[in-house]
């Protein structure tokens, strides 16, 4: 009839709610497209790619890392598969992606953004190459497997820390030298939003923000607090929402290094004075980067507090722990508590009720410590330890103290 894309909010809601009775009927195929937030990914390219093993695989839950207390793997990691190599010998054009690289590593949002870059190339046609631009030092070694055809590392002291002016200057020079067809940024508070806006102003483009669907003709942005969608012709600069596209996981890419000419020095107005130590206990939950959260499976509260202190983690709690009076209300994580965005979230003795999972939807790595291997927190977690909470907390304390005293040579 026509190819107008029609949304079904009820269906989307059921897909997001794993406890809904009709959830299992609507997901396809189960477990293969869960996003980093625990929400099911709506794949706009439903046909997708079939991998070399004949199976479509998005192992975001990393179930291969399920370990027992004794350190043995409960389920074996999937066998390494040699993915087909995607090469672009002579690119006709580039799609530039500037990832956030929080902690020197690609975030899931970054990977979604690179996935969107490839989607744009598929739609636009021609020999397009994805150029990933990275500032400062990083610890990432997986650029080839996430879809980087070319890699431009802009190094130098001036790009370290919070350096939006310096970075914008370098991007403006890349614009002059390479003139990418599109500029893609994760629309995030970490860096992408500010850099994308600064570059747009610098090169005189009007960016599209909170984009969740884009091809070379039109893009759709979420607006009005998520209650409206705005569709417009695709501009050159796109600030992309999380889960805007499926990350690349079926091909290897070359990640060939590219170099940038000398960027002219200018007088910067912003100076990064470095990080200052803060008391993790005083950090608001919503801003904490590292949280250890306690649930009904904690039986020694003094031990929990001591572990959080030694790890330098901010404390969180499930509602049951709060209702039972073990933790203050301000520490409750979840739908009726605080929605957190920690890079690492350790859930000790928390079952993973939907109200709690909603609150940790934006967390990076989730580690579950639980005696029940079938609980929802274990299904959501990146890494699960099936063991008694007291034993694990005691072991964590021992490791931290050993490391501090220098007795532990290798970081655990
Ligand atoms: C309207 C509404 C709003 C809500 N809002 C929130 C909210 O914002 N946040 C929230 O957290 N909850 C909320 N809840 C409550 C939620 O439904 C759950 O009841 C709650 O999250 C469960 O907390 P829990 O996982 O700590 O406890 P339980 O469900 O009792 O789970 C305890 C877990 O600990 C494990 N365990 C037990 N002993 C050990 C041990 N020795 N070592 C390791 N693991 C062990 C168990 O296997 C189990 O998985 C809400 C509920 C309602 C109805």
- Contact, 80 vs 99, CB < 8 A? no
Q: Is 336 in the pocket of ligand 1 (CB under 6 A)?
A: yes
Q: What is the pLDDT of residues 363-398, one digit of tens each?
A: 889 999 999 999 999 999 999 999 999 999 999 999
Task: Count other Cβ atoms within 10 Å, centred on residue 54.
Answer: 6
Helices (H) then strands (E): counts for the chain: 11, 17
Strands (E) located in 117-275: 128-135, 150-154, 182-186, 208-214, 218-223, 228-233, 237-240, 252-253, 256-258
Q: Is 320 in the pocket of ligand 1 (CB under 6 A)?
A: yes
Ligand 1 midpoint to CA 399 (Å) = 27
Q: What is the pLDDT of residue 3?
A: 54
Nearest CA to ligand 1 atom 30: 296
Q: Is 371 in the pocket of ligand 1 (CB under 6 A)?
A: yes
Helix (H) or strand (E) run with residue 356 in it: helix 354-359
Q: Is 28 in the pocket of ligand 1 (CB under 6 A)?
A: no
Domains contained in the chain, CATH given = 8-80+277-412 (3.40.50.1220), 83-273 (3.40.50.620)
Q: What is the pLDDT of residue 225?
A: 82
Task: State the Cα–Cα distance between residues 245 and 35, nearest whole angstrom.
Answer: 10
Low-confidence ranges of the chain (pLDDT < 70): 1-7, 9, 14-81, 407-412
The tokens for 195 are 């850099």
Q: Is 176 in the pocket of ligand 1 (CB under 6 A)?
A: no
Q: What is the pLDDT of residue 41?
A: 60
Q: What is the pLDDT of residue 76?
A: 40
Helix (H) or strand (E) run with residue 380 in it: helix 376-380
- Judged on CB neighbours under 10 Å (0-12, 13-18, 19+), 388 is middle
Ligand 1 midpoint to CA 351 (Å) = 5
Q: What is the pLDDT of residue 60?
A: 47
Ligand 1 nearest-atom number relative to CA 336: 8
């Amino acid at each position: 009839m026509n190819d107008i894309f029609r949304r079904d909010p009820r269906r989307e809601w059921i897909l997001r709610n794993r406890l809904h009775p009709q959830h299992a009927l609507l997901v396809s195929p189960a477990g293969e497209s869960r996003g980093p937030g625990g929400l099911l990914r709506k794949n706009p390219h439903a046909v997708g790619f079939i991998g070399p093993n004949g199976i479509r695989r998005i192992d975001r839950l990393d179930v291969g890392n399920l370990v027992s207390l004794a350190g043995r793997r409960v389920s074996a990691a999937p066998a390494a598969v040699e993915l087909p190599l995607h090469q672009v010998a002579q690119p006709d054009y580039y799609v530039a992606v500037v990832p956030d690289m929080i902690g020197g590593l690609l975030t899931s949002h970054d990977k979604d953004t690179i996935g969107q870059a490839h989607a744009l190339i598929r739609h636009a046609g021609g020999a397009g190459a994805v150029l990933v631009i990275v500032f400062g030092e990083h610890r990432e070694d997986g650029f080839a497997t996430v879809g980087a055809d070319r890699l431009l590392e802009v190094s130098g002291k001036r790009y370290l820390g919070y350096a939006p002016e310096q970075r914008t200057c370098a991007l403006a020079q890349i614009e002059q030298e390479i003139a990418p067809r599109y500029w893609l940024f994760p629309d995030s508070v970490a860096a992408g939003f500010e850099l994308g806006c600064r570059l747009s102003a610098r090169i005189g483009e009007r960016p599209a923000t909170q984009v969740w669907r884009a091809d070379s003709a039109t893009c759709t942005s979420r607006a009005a607090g998520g209650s409206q969608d705005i569709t417009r012709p695709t501009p050159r600069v796109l600030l992309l929402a999380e889960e805007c596209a499926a990350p690349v996981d079926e091909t290897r890419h070359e990640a060939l290094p590219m170099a940038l000419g000398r960027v002219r020095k200018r007088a910067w107005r912003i100076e990064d004075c470095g990080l200052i130590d803060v008391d993790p206990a005083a950090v608001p939950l919503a801003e904490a980067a590292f949280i250890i959260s306690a649930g009904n499976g904690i039986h020694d509260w003094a031990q929990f507090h001591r572990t959080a202190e030694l790890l330098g983690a901010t404390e969180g709690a499930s509602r049951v722990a709060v209702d039972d009076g073990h933790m203050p209300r301000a520490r409750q994580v979840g739908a009726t508590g605080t929605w957190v965005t920690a890079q690492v979230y350790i859930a000790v003795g928390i079952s993973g009720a939907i109200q709690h999972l909603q609150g940790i939807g934006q967390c990076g790595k989730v580690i579950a410590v639980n005696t029940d291997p079938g609980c929802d927190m274990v299904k959501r977690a990146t890494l699960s330890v099936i063991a008694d909470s007291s034993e694990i907390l005691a072991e964590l304390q021992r490791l931290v103290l050993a490391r501090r005293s220098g007795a532990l040579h290798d970081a655990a």
